[in-house]
Chains A and B, each alone.
Chain A
Amino acid sequence: MSTDKAYYIPSKAVWPFIGTIGLMTTLAGFANYLNGFGYGSTMMVFGLMLFVLMLTGWFALQAAESESGMHNHGVEISYRMGMMWFIFSEVMFFAVFFGALWYTRNLSVDWLGGFGDGPGRSTNMLWPDFEAHWPTNGPGEIGGEFETMGAFGLPLLNTLLLLSSGVTCTWAHHGLLAGHRDQLIKGLAATVGLGFLFVICQATEYHEAYTEMGLTLGSGIYGSTFFMLTGFHGFHVCVGAIILTVVLFRSMKGHFTPENHFAFEGAAWYWHFVDVVWLGLFIFVYIL
């Protein structure tokens, strides 16, 4: 067992290898599926099951170790730092898609429309009639006519949902720090509920876009950036909500103390990160 001074170093790890096999099988299956091989989807499901098994087993092990006091202060600091740098990598991942939106919207679509044309540029030869505008599906009008998503219907509601989930999450954290388990559980339940409500609203919005507005992933650069940004964000909301659900169940089982609750903190940081990304989306994708 760990003491205050000693750093816990596990002597072997079974789950990482299993998880790697799971992920590799999933991705190879997906690739085969994309290439039109029927067995790809079976492979994918099998790999995903293995991956989920790994997540369950590994996190259960971590939780058990944490509850038995093996994670001293030093280990906690490692986990916190690890989580922060992981979130930083996620920031960079979203930055790519925000960057793509900025670049196309402010630079390359204008160039397509002839801005800055001079000798040696071929734009006007290919699409002499194209006039730059945003939103656009390009000179080829890829994907046909579409309507753009307004900001003040469901998206505004979604903004309010996520912002209030950030508040309930912090309220739960205060409860945990003060030793009020009841407040912790209520706050977490509210956060998870608001999170899933967000996902439902987002799904409704997508459904509307596809069925009524003609707006799809294939609607040129507008559709591409819209669905990639909101889609990856929605995926992260799902992951965050699942993590928070696990933390909720652990709280109900009596896990965590005011001093030792890295899992809660990590989940909360992740949730706030997802929240901030949404604010970026709301401004740059929906409002502007």
Chain B
Amino acid sequence: MKHADILTALVLLAGALLVVWEGWRLGFGWGTDGPQSGFFPFALGLGLAVCSIVSLVQARALPSARRFVEPGKLVPVAKVALPAAGMVLLIHVAGLYVSSAIYMALYMRWIGRHRWSLVILLSVGIPLVTFLVFEKWFLVSMPKGPLETWLGY
């Protein structure tokens, strides 16, 4: 917990300094027409920097006994996070519909150990319905890949 707290405070501090610098660059004065573009970013960045420094000091005083995550519990979190990231990565190449079908199929089979028949029904059926709803009826464009191009979308 202690280390996570310190790390978070440091990340926030770095971000805050970046924002302060940007506010500086834009100009943070107070003109005749009120504050300039950079006034609020500058002030907000400064505020966040102060907060992160205070929480850094507070975190150093924390007992380091409590852990942020129990080691064993990180696995289920990763089991959700990584496939999701994988799917988003795949969207860049294969489009949303194909990626979500693959993602749902793998997830249902791998984590849920559901029957193949159910897995295929849902992982094909849901993207198909989504496709019809968005591309066909609502005329909303989602990211598409080679399969959709081949189908003329």
Say if A and B assemble together.
Answer: no
